[in-house]
Structure 1
Amino acid sequence: MEEKDGVIGALLDRRAAEEGLRRFGAEVDFRWETGSTNDDLKAAGKRRAFGHPVLLSVARQSAARGTRGRQWRRLGDALLFSLGLALPQFGHRAPGLISIAAGVAVVRVLRAAGFDAALKWPNDIWVSGGKAGGILSEIVRDAEGRGSVVVGVGLNVTLPADHAAVTTSGWRMSALAVGEKSPFENDPARRTAMLTDMAAAMLTAFRRAEDEGVETVLQDFPDADAFAGRSVFWQDAGSGMLAEGVDRGVDADGRLRVETEEGELLLGGGTSLVNAAGGWM
């Protein structure tokens, strides 16, 4: 990737990112393109567990993945990065909380920047009522058994005004700017600040969960939750039928607590909330 005065490809300023993440001792790596930032950092974590956080961001990915191996679809400009770090202790006990803690952190940064953002359990970034991105957390171990976690974030920055894209669960796709120019156009400083703020917020959330307990994640989730106190729908694993309940937050394992007529149920991370009116598949 071409670099001049620390600005890479007129997209990101590596030196500014390094300065913004200095307090975490983080390493910053920007590239034009790779297959998957998560796969790159997972390979590094398998060779040797991370001793310090590593932030990897690219302009393009040729093999991006979402939950359950689904291909991540990019329809316009996007912010793409992964964060690799030593597996936090709470991640050993409750790996499902990693994506939730990261998602809440990303939502807070977006809201502070003026975007109408929320988190749809367990790992979808919601902007203006649609899916604008997602978070993929993956745990790996090196030959000595030391754990690392890689947290990938893909966020749509722009989408065309006439797009008709929907997710496999029937939700419409969204972005920071739909039918408008990128908020980062010709502004690598702003793009870098957004990326750095997200990474810093994620690392801060992980530290807080370590120091103060996972209750911090449980307490922070409702404010970010896109469907807090509202009815949600999912496909029942047993019957295959559409089931309904009211979103009541998450438990200490990151499962969604839903209130139904039969009592409270806990939905695991393999469950997807579907848009009952949106042609989910």
Structure 2
Amino acid sequence: METTEQTQEELILGFLSESGDDYTSGEALSGKLGLSRTAVWKRVEALRTKGYRIEAVPARGYRLVEVPDRLTSLEVSPLLGTHDLGRTLHHHAVVGSTNEVAFRLAQDGAAHGEVVIAEQQTSGKGRRGRAWVSPPGLNLYFSAILRPELPPQRAPELTLVAAVALAENLREFGADAAIKWPNDVQIGGRKVAGILTELSAEPERVHFVIVGVGVNLNCQAEHFPEELRETATSVALARGERVHRAHFAARLWTRMEEWLELYLETGFDVVRARWKELSSTLGQDVLVRTDRSELRGLAVDIDPSGALLVRTEAGQVERVLAGDVEQLRPRQPQSAR
């Protein structure tokens, strides 16, 4: 858990961030924190040793000039607008998989909204046992612990909730993102993010859900394995400049919490409608591969549970619960209403 010193440092960063390019006097910080001006100065010095550039000018005060590109609570918490999500942050320099760490924490009683985040994963998990490429210090890899009051059969809907929030956040950051069913987000037809949802449940209720998200933010083409360079991308590649990772994470968690609260309050229909607006799959000729078969046809809709509806050449509409989707030839994406 956070120490008092860490909390005070977060508050100082929050106040300085709110001031932007303006200076905040030591007296003002002292009053807001209930500390002496000497104690404020010590906390500022501690932040400087951690990589923060904080300018101090006599008779004017302090100004935050530069924040290190890290994803600890010091960087993220001052930017958060959530009630629960990300308020307790378990930061790791390196983990095997954030989903695995989050699952263990949830089994041990971690609360709703706690997040595991890593600068690097050595065994990042994608769908169907695939690896997720996770180079250090460039992208966003996290897993959120959720404890919604839902029956287990509705838990897959949370993947679509997360996908809507993620696609909207990417658009806010200048990337024309779209959702590929069931759990990928694309920019220009190339994968930029993936979502992996895992749960622990009884027949009648969910104990917890782990929503794992990986987003390629700042990696370049050379960071991808050669076999993925034609099919993967990053936000930096798409928009031509780096992304502030802590800002992106904080905005994403705020948006995820907003969508989660709306979903739990009103049901899946509002999520389904927005998902369809953001979809890159609907209206496309697709090949769906499952463990047992292949299915070709036109992706026409998702049903009220989030399953993909595919109209075959024979005119039958097949319901797909899980599988890999390949878009066979480009069409203009359209929403099925």
Q: Deviations over 1:152-195 (max 9, x none)?
A: 1111122226967456xx971121133997613xxxxx321101
Identity %: 22
Structure with larger RCO (C-alpha < 8 A, sep 6+): 1
Aligned residue in 1 for 2:245: 191
Gaps of 5+ in 2: 1-8, 10-45, 53-66, 330-337
Q: What corresponds to 1:187 in structure 2?
A: none
- The code of the aligned residue for 1:274 comes to E
- Tell me which moved more, 110-119 or 254-263: 254-263
More helix by share: 2
2:178 pairs with 1:124: no
- Consecutive unaligned residues of structure 1, counting only runs of 5 or more, are 185-189
- The reply to whether residue 100 of structure 1 matches residue 160 of structure 2 is yes
Aligned to 1:250: 302
Letter in 2 for 1:93: Q
SS of the equivalent of 2:191 reads strand
Query: Which of 77, 82, 87 pairs up with 2:143?
Result: 82
Please state how far the C-alpha of 1:67 moved relative to its aligned partner. 0.9
Give the CA deviation at 1:204: 1.6
Secondary structure, aligned partner of 1:89: coil
Deviations 1:126-166 (A, max 9, x none): 12220122100111259xx8611111111112222696745
Q: Whose strand proportion is higher, 1 or 2?
A: 1
Separation in 1, partners of 2:120, 2:135:
12
| In 2: Cα distance, 1:266 partner to 1:109 partner | 29
Give yes or no for the alignment of 1:227 onto 2:281: yes
Listed as ranges, the matches of 1:1-281 within 5 Å are 5=47, 10-12=69-71, 14-21=73-80, 23-25=82-84, 26-48=87-109, 50-74=110-134, 77-86=138-147, 88-90=148-150, 92-140=152-200, 147-157=207-217, 158-160=219-221, 165-166=226-227, 172-178=231-237, 183-184=242-243, 190-235=244-289, 240-241=293-294, 243-260=295-312, 261-269=314-322, 271-276=323-328
Could you tell me whether the CA contact under 8 Å between 1:95 and 1:253 is conserved in 2?
A: no
State the structure with more CA Rg. Answer: 2
Contact 1:135 1:153 (C-alpha < 8 Å) held by counterparts: yes
Displacement of 1:210 after TM fit?
0.7
Distance 1:60 1:206, change over 3 A: same
3-state SS of 2:103 partner: helix
SS at match of 1:104: helix
Write the deviation string for residues 73-119 of structure 1: whole angstroms up to 9, x where unpaired.
Answer: 23683211111121x23463322211111011100000011102111
RMSD: 3.0
